[in-house]
Chain A
Amino acid sequence: MNPAPIAPVMPAAIFALTLALLLLAPLAIAGVALINTGLGRSRSAAQSLLGNLAIVAVTAIVFAVAGAAWAGTTGLVDHSFQLAGKPWNWLGAGRLMLGGFGSAPPQTQLALLFEFLAVALAALVPWGSGADRWRLSAGCASAAVLAAIVFPLMAHWVWGGGWLAQLGVNFGLGAGFVDGGGAATVHMLGGLSALAVVWIAGSRKGKFPKEGFSTALPGHNAAYVLFGCLLALVGWLAWNVAGAVIWLHAPLAALPATAVNTLLSASGSLAATFTVTRVRFGKPDASLCANGWLAGLVASSACAGLITPGQALFVGLVTGIATPLLVEVLELALSIDDPSGAISVHAVGGLLGLLAVGIFVSQEGQLVAQLVGIATLLGVILPLVYLLFRLLNRVVPFRVDPDGERIGMDLHELGGGAYPDFVIHRDESYR
C-alpha cells in the first residue's frame, strides 16, 4: 500500500467556485433522466422516472459505503504492484463508509463529491437503454454493482492517481490518460454498460419481427426529451468547468473557454445531426437531434478544457454526423434495441472526445495514452460489466415477464400509470 502523489493545494476562492458548480451539476442528471423517460413509452413513464431517482439513491449509498474507498482520490493511499520496474497503481485503499471524509483536504472532498455525481450519471445511462422491459429491482441492483465495483476501478485508474493517470510519468506518454469531465469514467462506462444490458435483457417485444424491417417504437414525449437537453446543458457547463478545476488543475483564466467549448461542441453536434436527419428523412428528427446535442456534450466532457473553440466545434460536427448514422446502424443492421440511443450517444460520443484530446493536444505520446485508456474500456470494462450483469441476471432477472411488458411497466411494477387519464391502447404486436 502506497501514499499517492499529493494534488496541488486549492485556494479558497476556487474551492468555493468549484463547490457552487458541483451543486449545479445534478442538472445534467435531471436532464438525462428526462431524456430517458421521454424516449420510452407512455405506459412505462412513471417506472422510468422512479428508476432514475432510485438509481441515484442506490449509487450514492453504495458508493459511500464501499465504492469511494476503492476509487480513492489523489493524495490518499492505494494498492500498487511492480511490473517491469514500474509501479502499477490499480486500486484505492481508503476507508469504508467515507471514513476520514470530514477531515480530508478540501480538494479531496470536492473530488469525492464529483465522483458521487459521476457514478450516479454513469449508472443512469444504461437505464434508458433498458426502457420498457428492464425491471426496477434489476436496474437498482445493476447500479449497485456499477457503484461498488466497476466505477471505482475506472475512477481510480483515471482520477485517483491510478496507472492510466500515471502513463505520462511511467512511460512518457504525454500527461497520461486525460479525462477532465468523465467522458471515459462516466459516459463510455455507462454506454458500454448499456450495451451489456441490451444484450442481456433483449429487445422489446415486437421490435424486430420475423419478417421485414424493425418496428419503430418512438419515444412518447419529445417535450421531455428536448427540455432534458436544455437542463443537461446547464449541468454539463458546470460539470466540465468543475472537472477542469479538479482533475486538470486548470487556472481561473481557462474556465470561460472550457464553458464556451462545451457549448460549441453541443451546438456543432446539433447542427450536424439536424442537417443529416433533414437530408436523410426530409425533415429534422427531434429525438435524433436530442441525441446529437447530448453526444456533443458527452464529447466535450473529454476535451473542453484542453482544446480551442474551433477544435471544439469540429469535434461537435464530427460527433453530430456520427450519432444519427450509428443509431440507425445499431438498430437496423445490428439488431440492437437501444430506446435512448445511449450506446451511440455516450459510448461513441465519449470515444470521439477522448480521441480528440489525443489528436489536438500537442504533447508527445498523448494520442497513445488516450488509445490505451480506450483499450482499457473495451478490453476490461465491457467484458467485466457483461460478466457481472450476466451473473446478476441469474439472481435478479433483468427482463420483465411477458405480461408485464404487455400492460406496461407502470401498471406491472407500480400499480398505476404516469398519465392515469390516458387510455392505454393494446399493442398491435400482441395480436
Chain B
Amino acid sequence: MKYAGLLVMPAGFFLTIAALILFPAPAPRAAFVVCGLAVELLGLAVAVRGHMEARGESRP
C-alpha cells in the first residue's frame, strides 16, 4: 500500500508538468497544478495509511 502511494505521487508531479505545457492560460494552468498537488497529497495519504497498517501488524 505504501508503494502504491509512492507511485501515485510522481503521477501528480507529471500532471503539474503537463499543466505547464498544455495550458498557456493562467486559470486552467493554475487549476491543473492544484489538481496535480491534490493527487500527490492523495498518494501521500495512501502511503501514510500503509505505514499505519504495517505498524499495527508489527506492534509488540
Stretch at the interface among A51-59, A216-224, A363-371: A363-371
**Residues of A324-380 whose CB lies within 8 A of B:** 334-336, 364-365, 367-368, 371-372, 374-376, 378-380
Chain A residues near B37 (CB, 8 Å)?
A: 371, 374-375, 378
A199 and B33 contacting across the interface, CB-CB below 8 Å:
no
Chain A residues near B2 (CB, 8 Å)?
A: 199
Identify the closest chain A residue to B51 (Cβ). A199
B16 and A335 contacting across the interface, CB-CB below 8 Å:
no
Interface residue range, chain B: 20 to 34
A365 and B26 contact, Cβ closer than 8 Å, known pairs A375-B37, A382-B6: yes
A383 and B6 contacting across the interface, CB-CB below 8 Å:
yes
A334 and B48 contact, Cβ closer than 8 Å, known pairs A171-B20, A364-B26: yes
Contact of A334 among B14, B33, B41, B52 (CB under 8 A): B52
B33 and A378 contacting across the interface, CB-CB below 8 Å:
no
How far does the alpha carbon of A83 sit from the alpha carbon of B40 in the complex, in Å?
A: 23
Stretch at the interface among A27-35, A141-149, A203-211, A274-282: A203-211
A379 and B51 contact, Cβ closer than 8 Å, known pairs A371-B37, A372-B33: no
How far does the alpha carbon of A287 sit from the alpha carbon of B20 in the complex, in Å?
A: 42
Identify the closest chain B residue to A170 (Cβ). B20
Identify the closest chain B residue to A365 (Cβ). B26
A209 and B60 contacting across the interface, CB-CB below 8 Å:
yes
B30 and A379 contacting across the interface, CB-CB below 8 Å:
no
Contact of A379 among B29, B40, B55 (CB under 8 A): B40
Chain B residues near A314 (CB, 8 Å)?
A: none
Chain A residues near B52 (CB, 8 Å)?
A: 334-335
Interface size on A, residues (CB 8 A): 32
Identify the closest chain A residue to B10 (Cβ). A379
**Residues of B29-56 whose CB lies within 8 A of A:** 29-30, 33-34, 36-37, 40-41, 44, 47-48, 51-52, 55-56
How far does the alpha carbon of A199 sit from the alpha carbon of B1 in the complex, in Å?
A: 13
Q: Is A84 an interface residue (CB 8 A)?
A: yes
Q: Is A386 an interface residue (CB 8 A)?
A: yes
A335 and B51 contact, Cβ closer than 8 Å, known pairs A365-B26, A368-B29, A371-B16: yes
B9 and A371 contacting across the interface, CB-CB below 8 Å:
no
A interface, CB within 8 angstroms of B? 83-84, 86, 167, 171, 199, 202-203, 205-206, 208-210, 334-336, 364-365, 367-368, 371-372, 374-376, 378-380, 382-383, 386-387
* Given pairs A379-B10, A379-B11, A380-B13, 19 additional interface contacts (CB within 8 A): A199-B51, A203-B55, A206-B60, A334-B51, A335-B51, A335-B52, A336-B48, A336-B51, A368-B29, A371-B37, A372-B16, A372-B20, A378-B13, A378-B44, A379-B14, A379-B36, A383-B6, A383-B9, A386-B6
A-B residue pairs in contact (CB < 8 Å), sample of 17: A167-B20, A199-B47, A203-B55, A206-B60, A210-B59, A334-B48, A335-B51, A335-B52, A335-B55, A368-B26, A368-B29, A371-B30, A371-B33, A372-B16, A378-B13, A379-B36, A383-B6
